[in-house]
A and B are shown apart, each in its own frame.
Chain A
Amino acid sequence: QKEVEQDPGPLSVPEGAIVSLNCTYSNSAFQYFMWYRQYSRKGPELLMYTYSSGNKEDGRFTAQVDKSSKYISLFIRDSQPSDSATYLCAKGGPYNQGGKLIFGQGTELSVKP
């Protein structure tokens, strides 16, 4: 079993839809969680990061972490064609694990006009 599981999709939605992207993880010894967006032929771009359970909102994006069920979600409201990309969830270790992030496989999202 992978440490971070993510449905690879592809996921196709109409413009304006609410998108829900999800990940599960298996190791509790991780303290923070991130969502990255990756356009084709580009590097991952940081969207959201959070250290605690609960919701964190930034514009049209909401990150949700449930540590009790080891579940991470990203919600995109009023989705736009420019949101079409691959979305990667990642978890990071405590302080002494530095820059090691464990990534999911990525979910490919397509938003149709």
Chain B
Amino acid sequence: DAGVTQSPTHLIKTRGQQVTLRCSPKSGHDTVSWYQQALGQGPQFIFQYYEEEERQRGNFPDRFSGHQFPNYSSELNVNALLLGDSALYLCASRQGRDSPLHFGNGTRLTVT
């Protein structure tokens, strides 16, 4: 049973560029959330997708956007990258809206 899978594992981008990160949820899960984890910090909630709609959003600017596809997979897009966007981006999935989250191993984004 595959868990949450994310791609790519590492990414290096230049300030001002745009990036797309991808996530496939755990089998049987229909809800996907995205988190940003800076070095030495706990993950911070970006947003959650359920039934292909953004259902909840954390305190992140509009440069951060996402999408969920009919097969429940999801993308995170970040525009106009800043140096401060360098972090580990984690995708998490769950079945429904009230069960524990299961995380992938993340995409490490470095902005130079």
Contacts and interface: CB of A to CB of B under 8 A. Distances in A.
Interface stretch (B14-22, B60-68, B78-86, B100-108): B100-108
Given A88-B42, A99-B45, A99-B97, A44 B103 contact: yes
Nearest to B49: A99
B72 interface: no
Interface in B89-112: 90, 92, 94, 97-98, 100-106
Nearest to B104: A43
Interface size bucket, B side?
A: 20 to 34
A105 B40 contact: yes
A99 B56 contact: yes
Interface residues of A, number: 25
B90 A44 contact: yes
Nearest to A39: B105
Given A43-B4, A44-B90, A95-B98, A101 B45 contact: yes
Given A42-B105, A99-B97, A106-B42, 7 more contacts: A44-B43, A98-B33, A98-B48, A98-B55, A99-B33, A103-B43, A106-B41
Interface of A: 4, 6, 8, 34, 36, 41-46, 49, 88, 90, 95, 97-106
Interface of B: 4, 31-33, 40-45, 48, 50, 55-56, 58, 90, 92, 94, 97-98, 100-106
